[in-house]
Structures are given as C-alpha cells and as structure tokens.
Amino acid sequence: MLLAFTGNGKGKTTAALGNALRILGAKKRALMVQFIKGPWRSGEHASVTRLGPDFKIISTGKGFVGILGDSLSFEEHMVAVEKGFTITKKEIASGAYHLLILDEIHNAIALGLIPVSFVLSFLDYAKDKVEHIITTGRDAPKEILERAGLVTEMRAVKHPFEKGEKAVQGLDF
C-alpha cells in the first residue's frame, strides 16, 4: 500500500516512524530515506542505531532549501535528491525491506528538485520491491494523493514556533 502523510501540521515524519515501529514489531525491516533533512543528527537517527539492522535511516538531503541560512545552490540540492533515489534504488533492490519511507519527498517535488513524473515511475518500480511505501511532506502532489490507498493530512492548529519558541530536542528533532 502507498500511504501519504501531508499537510502544514507537525507529525508527518513522526507518523511514518510510528509505522516503521509497527513493521519492526512484525519482525520485518524498514528503510527511511530523508530527501530534504540535512546532515544534522536528530532523535530518530540516535534511536535507529538501537533498532538496527532492521531499521535504517539514510539522510541524503542538504538541509532546508532557500531558507534558514541555506547557502547551497539549487543545483546542489537537486543532485542530493537524485543521489537519494540512486541510493534508495540500490537499497531496495535486495528485497530486504518491507517498508520504504520517502521522507519529505513531497517538499522536494513542490520545490522543483525532482519531477513528480520521476517519483511516480520510481513508485511503480518500488512497489514490486517492498510491501508498503510511505511518502511524507507538505504540499503532496495530487498524483501521489490519487495513487495512495491512505492519505492523512496534518493540520496546524497551534505551534510554539508561532510564539517565537525554538524547536525542542526530542520533540521536534
């Protein structure tokens, strides 16, 4: 099944991680590839070392694109997304994973880092390699939403960031 987690609210990656935990509980394996999130280490990276080798996270992104002091060129971000798909294809070719999470892929599409047609072709390829695929990120393209068997939209109601509060380790990263 293809699952899509989208919307402006917090929790898309967290929901995907929850599904990964369920897959692990069923004695299966999961792979998460992060397409925007950069080289910094977050809570999920620290915890996945305790869950390996059944759960693997690969971050191929270079960080937020065009915001928060991003000094990289758009082309560098594009190359990072392309590299992410090359790595993902190699990882899932073995058939070792049951769940594939394409984290922040909706954002990569919306930003123009990768065409939606490429992602759709990749999903066609991947559906024969893994049991379930989860895509996450704001601004999910309608083509992915139409294909998905489950779509959840996270809606922002209230967030501490609106009051100027910074992200909290363990909750936000």
The 10s digit of each residue's pLDDT in 52-98 is 899 999 999 777 776 666 677 778 888 999 999 999 999 999 999 99
Q: What residue ranges define each of the domains in the chain, with the CATH number in brackets?
A: 2-163 (3.40.50.300)
- Bigger pLDDT: 33 vs 165: 33
Question: Which pair of structure tokens corresponds to residue 73?
Answer: 């060129």
pLDDT number for residue 67: 64
pLDDT number for residue 90: 97
Alpha helices (runs of H) in the chain, residue ranges in sequence order: 12-25, 43-51, 74-92, 105-110, 116-126, 142-147
Q: What is the pLDDT of residues 90-141, one digit of tens each?
A: 999 999 999 999 999 999 999 999 999 999 999 999 999 999 999 999 999 9
Report yes or no: 137 and 106 within 8 Å, Cβ to Cβ. Answer: yes
